[in-house]
Structure 1
């Protein structure tokens, strides 16, 4: 049963994610590196890719909030909340990098948040092993997506590349953590559906 305190906390988290600048405890990766002299084409590419990554972190916040809201086991709830706190740092890093590049965040962030929150709630209702399995598969797919961005980002944009590289390490850690707490491997059709949904989000966020 979902209590009113969790709902209030979830609503507050949504507002913070969508309306206020995210905060980071760790230093921003690559912060000490000089700004590269990018061409306009390279800068637009980096902006678009970092916008996609920012959307991914908005979705991660919503997903973890939804999963934590319906998780049955307190240890699982705490695991999800810890992952959400670390994802908040990713949110801050990508947000800052977008600003440095002179770009903008996705206009559709509220839509992405709402959809991901709903998916998280459903995943939690299915039971903790599937909840954690969904988390692990999500992080696995995000890791693949970040690896692709490392290939696409301009070589000289070392600041963006440093952020993406550290995010990739963190996502792999979250996946391992979820499996260690008993996450089940998802059926292949679910994995494929998740990949298709991710493609829709990334292609749309590249432009909007």
Structure 2
């Protein structure tokens, strides 16, 4: 019989998750990278720098997603919702690790702003979860829709020869679409257009700042 986690156990788990999310190269994926043995075409310095900027944005997006799911999972009211949040968070760890590894290949780095975005996203997730599972799940759906749009945009902006980044983003897009569908099927509330527009503006602030920082 499994021992019920105490409050101390949960805090230790949360701290471990923070470290695995924010410390470069600490996240360990449960699935192999979609890039596999895919080989890039020749990328010049400008193309590599541009690809690294895009992948840095995607890495920070996964930092935010990880924090969001952790915050929501901590305050979710229904046990099955918490379980689904934890599963989605594990898939986001895969994305985090894949993007991190790709940044290394591109001689890039993760964003200096990650701790700030993690803290903000965790707080938003915790509040959404505390308000109620329908709102929390609705926030997941709206967030994943925004992420999907960013991934589509980045797939168009990637250098043509960057096949490894492309393979990673295509798998991420598939996973995020699955998360968005699950959130609605689990009872998530559809957010109105003005709320989604506000979320889109906040997302643009993140992408524009993280591309270089």
Please give the range of the TM-score, normalised by the shorter of the 2 chains. over 0.9
Q: How far apart in 2 are the matches of 1:67 and 1:25?
A: 22
CA RMSD, 1 decimal: 1.3
Partner residue in 2 for 1:151: 156
Is 1:37 aligned to 2:78, yes or no?
no
How far residue 33 of structure 1 moved from its aligned partner, in angstroms, is: 1.2
Q: Deviations over 1:102-138 (max 9, x none)?
A: 0111011111110100110111111000100000110
TM-score, normalising length from structure 2?
0.93
Q: Which moved more, 1:73-82 or 1:181-190?
A: 181-190
Pick the aligned partner of 1:183 from 185, 188, 200: 188
Secondary structure of 1:207's match? coil
How far residue 7 of structure 1 moved from its aligned partner, in angstroms, is: 3.1
Gaps of 5+ in 1: none
Is 1:12 aligned to 2:16, yes or no?
yes
* Mapping 1:48-63, distance limit 5 Å: 48-63=53-68
Q: How far apart in 2 are the matches of 1:153 and 1:187?
A: 31
Secondary structure of 1:174's match? helix
How far residue 3 of structure 1 moved from its aligned partner, in angstroms, is: 4.3
Partner residue in 1 for 2:82: 77
TM-score, normalising length from structure 1?
0.96
Partner residue in 2 for 1:46: 51
Partner residue in 1 for 2:102: 97
Secondary structure of 2:205's match? helix
Q: How far apart in 2 are the matches of 1:14 and 1:104?
A: 18
How far residue 4 of structure 1 moved from its aligned partner, in angstroms, is: 4.5
